[in-house]
Amino acid sequence: MSFLSKRYRDQKDMNKGRQAEDSKSEAGVNVFLSRALHHLANIQDELHMFYCLPKREVRVQLVLDSNDKMKVFEGFRVQHNNALGPYKGGLRYHPTASMQHFRTMASLMTWKCALVGIPFGGAKGGIACDPKALTAEELETLTKKYVEQMMPIIGPKIDVPAPDMGTNAQVMAWVYEEYSKMHGDEPAVVTGKPLELSGSFGRESATGNGVAYIAKWATEASELSLSNAKIVIQGFGNVGQFAAKKLVELGAQVVAISDSSGGVYSSSGLNVEKLLEFKNYEKGSLNEWDGECEKITNEDLMQLECDLLVPAALGNVITDINANAIKAKMIVEGANDPISAEAQDFLESKGVVIIPDILANAGGVLVSYFEWAQNLQHFQWNVEKVEENFREMLKKAWKETAEKHRSLKVNYRTAAYCIALERVHKASQLRGYHG
């Protein structure tokens, strides 16, 4: 008989499987990075290690004591690189969260911030927990304990968290409150806060809207058109919902969408407004939706014939295992790290155009930057100013990536990494991080 608790054993088993996947995905990001290094003659190969290894990793134990029942959790924060400014990156609450997973995510944040031209480095963190299985009170306590433990390594000029999977504006409000207890009122410690609590207009919709705008510009640059394009979206949370709404506004047809319960499909296009109402006000899971549609699994959804596929849920969902079943003409990465390096190579050999996460989902961190800048000035921009700056900066990042893609004759991902790497490298040199 084992002396280890069942939850501990379950968690360890899950971590083992997850770590094998995570190390593949960590390798994936580093493969993409080394491909970019290869194209930049002025950046020596030896620096690969410098940009692969995060600067700092912190793991903490978090204990909840509710109704005399103790629950133990692990919290993580990985700070990858801060050459361009304070570390920046989301907080994810998910049962499979692990240090290895956050290493990949933190690295992506470094390149994403550099690509869109904002003065931040890259970080990521969170708690290995199922937020749906916790009460609001437990979630608040857990979040505040996480902040208490991470207090020495976060701050408006050090590391600025934001929402990610399993967290939202309410969680960010708790982060703000806990940090301010020790430091005085400091809204700039975290972004993605509620509008009433020094949040920014446009933050909630930013990532999804950004995905849709990038999809529009990318289709215009290829033989596709967004007008009447058939779109398939995996994930119906923050990113998936706003992307679906904006894509429909831009003239596309969302034919399939899913959440963790499964998906819905209609060849003539789904009623996205009704699905949003059902999900957000009736709190339904998509597999309970009784509108006109066909019920499909997440696996089926990935294999649908469509113009655009938008993964907007978990990472590592397109790998060498299912790549040959993908029938999309273009993939716009709403999620972070959804495609493995092998799968990307295979899909591109078949002519599929892939728009990388560090560009496609950068809208969120862009408005997070606006929120941080507003908080430092204790001033709130209006919606128009947010929207104008948002479109302008995102379009600039798109144009620069497209230009690099043409001039170097590389795919969009390598082009995006080349731009980001040049910027981070220049800043590192100027600071004297390396020779």
> Judged by CB under 6 A, which stretch of 160-168, 219-227, 407-415, 426-434 contacts ligand NAD?
160-168
Measured distance CA(367)–CA(365) in Å, rounded: 5
**Per DSSP, what are the bridge partners of residue 60?**
75
* Catalytic residue (choose from 124, 246, 279, 329): 124
Residue 351: count of CB within 10 angstroms of its CB: 8
- Burial class of residue 390, CB neighbours in 10 A (0-12, 13-18, 19+): buried
What beta strand segments (E) does 262-344 contain? 262-265, 294-296, 305-311, 327-332
- Verify binding: residue 260, ligand NAD, rule CB under 6 A: yes
- Verify binding: residue 234, ligand NAD, rule CB under 6 A: yes
Measured distance CA(315)–CA(295) in Å, rounded: 23
Residue 290 tokens, joined: 């009784």
- Verify binding: residue 236, ligand NAD, rule CB under 6 A: yes
The residue (of 37 and 420) whose beta carbon lies closer to ligand NAD is 420
Q: Note whether 263 and 296 are within 8 A (CB).
A: yes
Q: Is 87 left (phi over 0), alpha (psi -120 to 50) or beta?
A: beta
Q: Note whether 127 and 75 are within 8 A (CB).
A: yes
Out of 166, 187, 199, 202, point to the residue binding ligand NAD (CB under 6 A): 166
Site for ligand NAD in 188-207 (CB under 6 A): 207
| Run of H or E including 225 | none
Question: Does 409 participate in catalysis according to the annotation?
Answer: no
CB of 74 to ligand NAD, least distance (A): 19
Out of 248, 302, 313, 397, point to the residue binding ligand NAD (CB under 6 A): 313
> Judged by CB under 6 A, which stretch of 133-141, 333-341, 391-399, 420-428 contacts ligand NAD?
333-341
- Verify binding: residue 172, ligand NAD, rule CB under 6 A: no
Closest residue to ligand NAD, judged by C-beta, is 237
The residue (of 47 and 314) whose beta carbon lies closer to ligand NAD is 314
63 SS3 class? strand
Measured distance CA(103)–CA(100) in Å, rounded: 5
Residue 154 tokens, joined: 């976060």
**How far is CA 43 from each of CA 80, 412, 428, rounded to the nearest angstrom?**
19, 20, 12
The residue (of 161 and 187) whose beta carbon lies closer to ligand NAD is 161
> How many chain residues interact with ligand NAD (CB under 6 A)?
25
CB of 237 to ligand NAD, least distance (A): 2
12 SS3 class? helix
> Judged by CB under 6 A, which stretch of 132-140, 232-240, 267-275, 373-381 contacts ligand NAD?
232-240
**Per DSSP, what are the bridge partners of residue 124?**
78
> Judged by CB under 6 A, which stretch of 77-85, 178-186, 228-236, 369-377 contacts ligand NAD?
228-236
Residue 249 tokens, joined: 């506004």
Out of 314, 373, 402, 408, point to the residue binding ligand NAD (CB under 6 A): 314
- Verify binding: residue 334, ligand NAD, rule CB under 6 A: yes
Out of 95, 117, 237, 284, point to the residue binding ligand NAD (CB under 6 A): 237
Residue 265 tokens, joined: 């499909």
| Run of H or E including 258 | strand 253-259
> Mask 345-364, x = binds ligand NAD (CB under 6 A)?
----------------x--x
Out of 32, 315, 318, 329, point to the residue binding ligand NAD (CB under 6 A): 315
Out of 200, 235, 347, 418, point to the residue binding ligand NAD (CB under 6 A): 235
Map tokens 């731009």 to a residue: 419
> Judged by CB under 6 A, which stretch of 62-70, 73-81, 234-242, 387-395 contacts ligand NAD?
234-242
Out of 123, 165, 229, 275, point to the residue binding ligand NAD (CB under 6 A): 165
339 SS3 class? strand
First to last CA, the chain: 56
Catalytic center residues: 124
Residues that bind ligand NAD (CB under 6 A): 163-166, 207, 234-240, 258-260, 298, 312-315, 334-336, 361, 364
